């Protein structure tokens, strides 16, 4: 085996030579470390720089623009009845699957005796599931979900109908804000195994430019904004 530099090292060496820099320069290393530690945001669109109430309106309008349906609820206690109504309106069985999210667990599911609530991850035989969002982005109508027992990722992709509960207070204007919240929640250098950004129901027009819903996930997305 040759003990010479790898192809990667050779390429990077030529780049450094062309720039007239040295990878061992402590000043450059300090600048890189500072940039990584500071988490400076790039250019943030002004669209989301509006008061919180208007951010909620913008989020709702963006959701509707990507073929999702939206409902506003005054309090979390209204979620179970709203879920049952959505299933009834769509002629779906009165059954949903949820994870172990304590916010969902605290809701009065027993107040709707006709609704069957299963808990845990989905194995592909659930028609409807309920997740609780970590945050949402007003500028694009995107909802952020983090993986784990509280909200299993399988609930995001396997059922035909995905119902997401979003606290109005968790809606931010832009992606940079929700990423900062995620970093603050989990701590420096830590992340959940998966972070999913959901913008509308699953759809694709890859084949002959014909729009197909449910290509890679739920055919329908219904968002319940609480508060």
In this predicted model, what pLDDT tens digit does every residue of 128-138 receive, in sequence order?
A: 999 999 999 99
Confidence (pTM)? 0.81
196 neighbors 160 (Cβ within 8 angstroms): no
Of 38, 39, 59, 37, nearest in space to 47 by CA? 59
**Tokens in use for 72?**
């506003």
Q: Which tens digits make up the pLDDT trace of 54-72?
A: 999 999 999 999 989 999 9
Q: How many CA atoms lie within 13 A of 76 on its CB side?
A: 13
Share of the chain above pLDDT 70, in %: 91
**Tokens in use for 183?**
């970093």
Of 103, 142, 95, 147, nearest in space to 121 by CA? 147
Does position 42 have pLDDT exceeding 90, yes or no?
A: no
Q: How far apart are CA 204 and CA 214, in angstroms?
A: 8
**116-119/203-204 β-pairing:** unpaired
Calculate mean pLDDT across residues 168-178: 95
Does position 1 have pLDDT exceeding 50, yes or no?
A: no
């Amino acid at each position: 085996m040759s003990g010479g530099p790898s192809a990667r090292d050779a390429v990077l060496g030529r780049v450094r030579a062309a720039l007239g820099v040295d990878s061992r320069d402590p000043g450059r290393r300090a600048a890189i470390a500072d940039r990584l530690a500071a988490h400076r945001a790039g250019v943030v669109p002004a669209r989301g720089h509006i008061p919180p109430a208007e951010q909620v309106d913008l989020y709702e309008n963006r959701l509707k623009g990507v073929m999702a349906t939206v409902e506003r609820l005054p309090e979390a206690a209204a979620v179970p009845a709203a879920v049952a109504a959505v299933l009834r309106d769509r002629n779906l069985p009165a059954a949903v699957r949820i994870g172990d999210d304590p916010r969902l667990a605290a809701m009065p599911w027993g107040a709707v005796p006709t609704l069957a609530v299963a808990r845990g991850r989905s194995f592909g035989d659930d028609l409807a599931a309920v997740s609780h969002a970590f945050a949402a982005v007003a500028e694009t109508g995107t909802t952020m979900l983090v993986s784990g027992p509280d909200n299993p990722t399988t609930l995001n992709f396997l059922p035909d109908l995905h119902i997401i509960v979003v606290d109005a207070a968790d809606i931010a204007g832009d992606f940079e804000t929700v990423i900062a919240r995620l970093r603050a929640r989990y701590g420096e250098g830590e992340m959940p195994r998966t972070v999913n950004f959901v913008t509308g129901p699953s759809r694709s027009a890859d084949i002959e430019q014909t729009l197909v819903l449910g290509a890679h996930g739920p055919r329908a997305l219904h968002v319940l904004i609480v508060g």
